[in-house]
Amino acid sequence: MSDMPLLKVRDLSKFYGKRIGCANVAFELWPGEVLAIVGESGSGKTTLLNCLSTRLMPTTGSVEYHMRDGGYRDLYHMSEAERRFLMRTDWGFVHQNPADGLRMTVSAGANVGERLMAIGDRHYGNIRRTASDWLERVEISTDRIDDQPRAFSGGMRQRLQIARNLVTGPRLVFMDEPTGGLDVSVQARLLDLVRGLVNDLGLSAIVVTHDLAVARLLSHRMMVMKDGHVIEQGLTDRVLDDPREPYTQLLVSSILQV
Ligand SMILES: Nc1ncnc2c1ncn2[C@@H]1O[C@H](COP(=O)(O)OP(=O)(O)O)[C@@H](O)[C@H]1O
Ligand SMILES: [Mg+2]
């Protein structure tokens, strides 16, 4: 791990009119670290993730990002073009619903290859070979390379979305309920796959989930949200095995329906 945080988040708040989306969030994310954001529905997880990934502008606060050149930049003071460039090169975003992160009517190979072309790769043979390698890495048979994702199962679509995001070698991946829409048996396999890839690639990731088992399996550290506020954060094992806040204790003991 590098000795500089990848993200420095300070005093981040997002209000929708008078309604709190998230409030006064502060943390640092380190290279290679997986952070889970947990909490019941409506607690502000998606709002926070969308602010961090600049899909949403916060009302107050700053997020400093450690650029590849070594300097820090405030994400909210970048131009739209710079942000788009980061999203294409340094970041991935895995949506809960794969249809939101894929192009459903172009081939699986093109879904992966497109991201390579977006960063300047123009060699058709290389693009196809890399796309094919990535299909294999996410356990999609390469003879499906010319099929469209609309012909795939939910689990395959989600694995394709992951390949599309990781093919460009991002440093940071945002995931919103990555296993949310899948059958339990498919979830377990996908989680294993994601955990393996994140480890192998040394990725940093921020994973939103209402499922504490997902947080347990994937994350090093977690933040618990309630009514837009982070009420507890710490190492995942510590928070789950020895929760300090009464609300977290309820969550962990599954008394709350999340
Ligand atoms: N676009 C929006 N306009 C108004 N209120 C919103 C909007 N999106 C979310 N909210 C509100 O912000 C709070 C947090 O929502 P959200 O971030 O979606 O939570 P979660 O992802 O944990 O379910 C909720 O009270 C929700 O109703
Ligand atoms: Mg949400």
What is the b/e burial string over 119-137, where b = at least 16 CB atoms within 10 angstroms of the residue's CB? eeeeeeeebbebbbebbeb
Ligand closest to CA 45: 1
- The model's pTM is 0.95
Residue 48 belongs to domain spanning:
5-252
Q: Are 171 and 70 in contact (CB under 8 A)?
A: no
Alpha-carbon separation of residue 231 from 26, 39, 67 (angstroms): 11, 10, 29
Alpha-carbon separation of residue 23 from 59, 74, 124 (angstroms): 9, 18, 47
Say yes or no to pLDDT of 1 above 60: no
50 Cβ below 6 A of ligand 1:
no
Q: What percent of the chain has pLDDT over 90?
A: 90
Question: Is the backbone of residue 147 left (phi > 0), alpha (psi -120 to 50) or beta?
Answer: beta
Please list the residues that pair with 174 across neighbouring strands: 93, 206
Residue 104 lies in a domain: yes
Return the pLDDT at 181.
Answer: 84
Question: Which residue is closest in CA terms to ligand 1's atom 1?
Answer: 16
42 Cβ below 6 A of ligand 1:
yes
Residue 154 lies in a domain: yes
Say yes or no to pLDDT of 256 above 60: no
Residue 62 lies in a domain: yes
Residue 257 lies in a domain: no
Per-residue pLDDT band at 3 (split at 50, 70, 90) = confident
41 Cβ below 6 A of ligand 1:
yes
The structural domain count of the chain equals: 1
pLDDT tens-digit profile of 43-53? Answer: 999 999 999 99
Ligand closest to CA 21: 1
Average pLDDT, the chain: 94
Which is nearest to 31 in space by CA: 148, 206, 195, 155? 206
How far apart CA 61 and CA 197 sit, in angstroms, is: 32
**In this structure, what CATH number is given to the domain that contains residue 9?**
3.40.50.300
Residue 258 lies in a domain: no
pLDDT tens-digit profile of 70-83? Answer: 999 999 999 999 99
Per-residue pLDDT band at 8 (split at 50, 70, 90) = very high
Q: Which atom of ligand 1 is nearest to the CA of 40?
A: 22
From 12, 47, 208, 209, the mutation candidate for ligand 1 (largest count of ligand atoms within 8 A of CB) is 47
| DSSP state, residue 67 | -
Q: Are 39 and 257 in contact (CB under 8 A)?
A: no
Residue 95 lies in a domain: yes
Residue 240 lies in a domain: yes
Residue 29 lies in a domain: yes
